[in-house]
């Protein structure tokens, strides 16, 4: 039997309002908050739930908390601002990549996608984050990242490169390498401009 979607929406709004009213009552009566504070707290809770658990992803995506790309290096982990990002864990082109490039190629394809998607949403993933998402060791991700960046002379937007930490192959190191190789200055300037525009590799 078909269900009238308008009716479902109306019922859902009633349920939400009922839950809101119960929460409002508890905040006001049990905790003694002023009514204005109760409204603000409920709105804040709604925004948090929508942002982290709402309909923000399709069935091939996950919500993952990444470090904000605006965070400076060196802060304690519990003081770092995190942002929720949508990451595509599966995509139809994966089978084609696997056939052409093998397991390592598919892994590189996914790590590039994760890092690019996170960066586009104002977050940066560490290599440990990517390792957890792919179920491999941090060493494997580090090796895959280094090989891809050196072979293609690109900078992947993970936390080490964006925040210039650890042993990451950062844009600064690549630029210095270009100078040491006597690459023409216009070419180096063009590379620096591309980095400043955040033209990192991005793959679906």
- Whether residue 117 contacts residue 88, with contact meaning beta carbons closer than 8 Å, is answered with yes
Range from 13-27, 81-95, 175-189 that averages highest in pLDDT: 81-95
Entry pTM: 0.60
Q: Are strands 61-68 and 82-88 parallel, antiparallel or unpaired?
A: antiparallel
For residues 89-96, average pLDDT = 84
**CA neighbours closer than 13 Å in the CB half-sphere of residue 74:** 2
CA–CA distance, 83 with 70 (Å, rounded to integer): 11
The residue with greater pLDDT, 46 or 26, is 26
| DSSP collapsed to 3 states, 107-158 | HHHHHHHHHHHHHHCCEECCHHHHHHHHCCCHHHHHHHHHHHHHHHCCCCCC
Q: Residues 167-193: pLDDT tens digits?
A: 444 555 555 555 555 555 555 454 443
Q: Residues 133-165: pLDDT tens digits?
A: 999 998 999 899 888 888 877 778 887 676 555
pLDDT at 79: 76
Assign residue 74 a region (left: φ > 0; alpha: ψ between -120 and 50; beta: otherwise): left
CA–CA distance, 149 with 124 (Å, rounded to integer): 17
Angle at 74 between CA 80 and CA 151, to 5 degrees: 100
Residues 6+ apart with CB under 8 A from 34: 28
pLDDT at 80: 79
């Amino acid at each position: 039997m078909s269900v009238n979607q308008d009716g479902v929406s109306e019922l859902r709004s009633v349920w939400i309002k009922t839950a809101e009213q119960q929460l409002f009552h508890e905040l006001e009566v049990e905790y003694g908050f002023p009514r204005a504070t109760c409204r603000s707290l409920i709105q804040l809770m709604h925004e948090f739930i929508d942002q982290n658990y709402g309909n923000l992803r399709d069935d091939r995506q996950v919500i993952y908390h990444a470090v904000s790309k605006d965070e400076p290096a060196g802060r304690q982990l519990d003081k770092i601002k995190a942002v929720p990002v949508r990451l595509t864990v599966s995509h139809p082109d994966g089978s084609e990549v696997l056939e052409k490039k093998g397991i390592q190629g598919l892994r590189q394809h996914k790590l590039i996608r994760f890092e690019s998607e996170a960066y586009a949403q104002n977050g940066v993933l560490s290599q440990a984050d990517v390792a957890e998402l792919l179920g491999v060791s941090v060493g494997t991700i580090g090796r895959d990242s280094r090989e891809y960046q050196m072979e293609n002379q690109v900078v992947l937007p993970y936390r080490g490169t964006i925040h210039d930490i650890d042993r990451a192959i950062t844009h600064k190191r690549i630029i210095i390498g270009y100078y040491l190789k006597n690459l023409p200055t216009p070419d180096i300037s063009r590379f620096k401009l591309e980095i400043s525009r955040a033209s990192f590799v991005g793959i679906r």
